[in-house]
C-alpha cells in the first residue's frame, strides 16, 4: 500500500475514524477501481457505521478484484450476519475457510451461528456485540519521539526543497510546437469549400481561438482550452486547423475533485451545449430513477437540487462503476459533458456524498 491516499486512509482505518476515511476515499472511486484495499477499507468502514448497502457494494467489489484473499469474504460474512442472513453468511465464511483454514474469526463466527437463533442474533445486533465478528481494523500506535524526530527531519528537508524549488522554473506540459500553425494556415484559416457551421468566424477570430487553446492548455486551464477547440471544430475553420485542434485534445488530462479548474455552470452549458462538449464539471444535486448493474450506475441527475427548492436541469448520467448513492441526500458528481441523441449527457467519473444523518 504505497499510494499516499491509501496510506492516509490506512491510518484513519486503524484509528477507526470511519467517517473521515469515507470522505477521503469516496471521491476517488474511479481512480482506484482496481484496488481491492481501497474498496475493502470503504466497505468495512461503512459496515462499522451501519451503512449496510454501501458496505455490501464495496466489499463485493473488493472480493471480485482480489478473489484469492479471504478478508473481503470474512467482512461480507459479518455483514450478512448483521442482517440476519445466516445462509449467505455461512457461504461466505466457508469459502473464506477454504482459503484460510486456521482463521480464528471465521471459526468463532461459524460457531456463533451454529449456537444461535434469530433472537440471539438480533440481541447481539441491538447490544453491539455483533461487532465482535467484524474484521479488525488493526492498531495504530503513535510513537511520539519518532514522530518528533521525523517532523524535524521533514521540516529541514522541506526548507531545502523549498529553497531549491525557488530556483526552478514552473512545471510545463507537453510540447505542442508541432501543432503551431503554418504561415499558410494562418493566412488562409477559413474553409473555402462551404458547408453548414455552428459558428462563422473571421480569419482573426480563428487564429485567436487557436492561439488561446494552446495558451490555456499550457496554463493548465483544460476546460477553457477545450471550449476554444470546440469553437474551432464547429466553425468554418479549415480542415487542417480542425485536425490539429482535434489532436491537441489527446493531451488534455482527466481531472480529479482536487485538480479541476474553470467549472462551467449548468445554465452556461445549457445555453450552448456543443461549445462545452468534453469539458469536465463538478455539479451538485440529487439522483433519481436509478438503474444499477454489476458494472454501471445510471440515473437522472437533478442538477442544483441540493436544497430541494429549484432544479437547474435534469441530465442523464452514467458512471462505469457499481457504486452506491443515497437518493435522500445531495451529491457531487465529477464528470465529462457530451451529447447523446441531441441531449446533454454526463459521463460520471467520481462522486462525493457526505455521510447523511441516517
Per-residue model confidence as pLDDT tens digits over 82-140: 999 999 999 999 999 999 999 999 999 999 999 889 889 988 998 889 999 999 888 65
* Contact of 110 with 20, CB cutoff 8 Å: no
- Tell me which CATH homologous superfamily contains domain 266-352: Nucleic acid-binding proteins (2.40.50.140)
Q: What is the CATH number of domain 4-133?
A: 1.25.40.10
Regions of the chain with pLDDT less than 50: 1, 143-157, 159-168, 357-358
Long-range contacts of 84-87 (CB under 8 A, 24+ apart): 84/118, 84/121, 84/122, 84/125, 86/113, 86/121
Residue 141 pLDDT: 55
Give the domain ranges of the chain: 4-133, 177-251, 266-352
Residue 126 pLDDT: 87
Taking the C-alpha atoms of residue 213 and residue 111, their distance in angstroms, rounded to an integer, is 66
Residue 149 pLDDT: 38
Q: Phi/psi of residue 319, each to 5°?
A: -120, 120
Rounded to the nearest 10 degrees, the angle between the axes of helix 203-218 and helix 222-233 is 150
* Contact of 206 with 228, CB cutoff 8 Å: no
Taking the C-alpha atoms of residue 63 and residue 77, their distance in angstroms, rounded to an integer, is 12
Residue 148 pLDDT: 42
pTM for the model stands at 0.59
Residue pLDDT, tens place only, 336-354: 999 998 899 999 998 988 7
Amino acid at each position: 500500500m504505497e499510494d499516499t491516499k491509501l496510506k492516509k486512509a490506512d491510518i484513519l482505518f486503524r484509528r477507526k475514524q470511519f467517517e473521515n476515511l469515507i470522505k477521503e476515499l469516496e471521491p476517488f472511486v474511479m481512480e482506484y477501481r482496481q484496488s481491492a484495499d481501497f474498496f475493502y477499507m470503504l466497505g468495512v468502514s461503512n459496515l462499522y457505521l451501519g451503512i449496510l448497502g454501501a458496505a455490501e457494494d464495496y466489499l463485493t467489489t473488493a472480493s471480485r478484484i482480489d478473489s484469492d484473499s479471504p478478508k473481503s469474504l470474512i467482512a461480507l460474512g459479518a455483514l450478512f450476519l448483521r442482517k440476519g442472513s445466516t445462509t449467505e453468511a455461512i457461504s461466505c465464511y466457508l469459502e473464506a475457510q477454504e482459503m484460510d483454514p486456521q482463521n480464528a474469526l471465521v471459526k468463532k463466527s461459524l460457531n456463533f451461528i451454529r449456537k444461535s437463533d434469530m433472537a440471539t442474533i438480533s440481541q447481539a445486533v441491538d447490544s453491539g456485540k455483533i461487532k465482535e465478528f467484524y474484521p479488525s481494523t488493526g492498531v495504530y500506535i503513535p510513537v511520539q519521539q519518532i514522530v518528533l524526530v521525523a517532523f524535524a527531519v521533514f521540516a529541514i528537508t522541506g526548507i531545502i526543497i523549498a529553497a531549491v524549488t525557488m530556483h526552478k522554473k514552473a512545471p510545463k506540459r507537453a510540447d505542442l510546437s508541432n501543432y503551431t500553425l503554418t504561415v499558410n494556415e494562418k493566412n488562409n484559416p477559413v474553409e473555402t469549400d462551404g458547408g453548414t457551421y455552428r459558428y462563422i468566424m473571421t480569419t482573426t477570430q480563428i487564429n485567436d481561438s487557436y492561439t488561446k487553446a494552446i495558451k490555456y492548455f499550457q496554463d493548465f486551464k483544460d476546460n477553457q482550452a477545450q471550449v476554444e477547440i470546440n469553437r474551432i471544430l464547429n466553425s468554418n475553420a479549415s480542415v487542417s486547423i480542425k485536425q490539429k485542434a482535434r489532436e491537441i485534445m489527446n493531451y488534455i488530462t482527466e481531472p480529479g475533485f482536487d485538480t479541476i479548474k474553470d467549472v462551467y455552470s449548468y445554465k452556461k452549458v445549457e445555453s450552448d451545449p456543443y461549445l462545452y462538449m468534453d469539458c469536465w464539471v463538478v455539479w451538485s444535486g440529487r439522483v433519481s430513477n436509478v438503474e444499477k448493474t454489476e458494472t454501471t450506475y445510471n440515473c437522472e441527475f437533478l442538477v442544483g437540487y441540493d436544497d430541494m427548492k429549484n432544479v437547474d436541469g435534469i441530465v442523464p448520467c452514467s458512471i462505469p462503476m457499481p457504486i452506491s448513492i443515497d437518493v435522500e441526500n445531495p451529491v457531487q458528481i465529477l464528470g465529462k459533458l457530451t451529447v447523446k441523441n441531441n441531449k446533454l449527457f454526463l459521463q460520471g467519473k467520481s462522486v462525493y456524498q457526505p455521510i447523511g444523518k441516517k
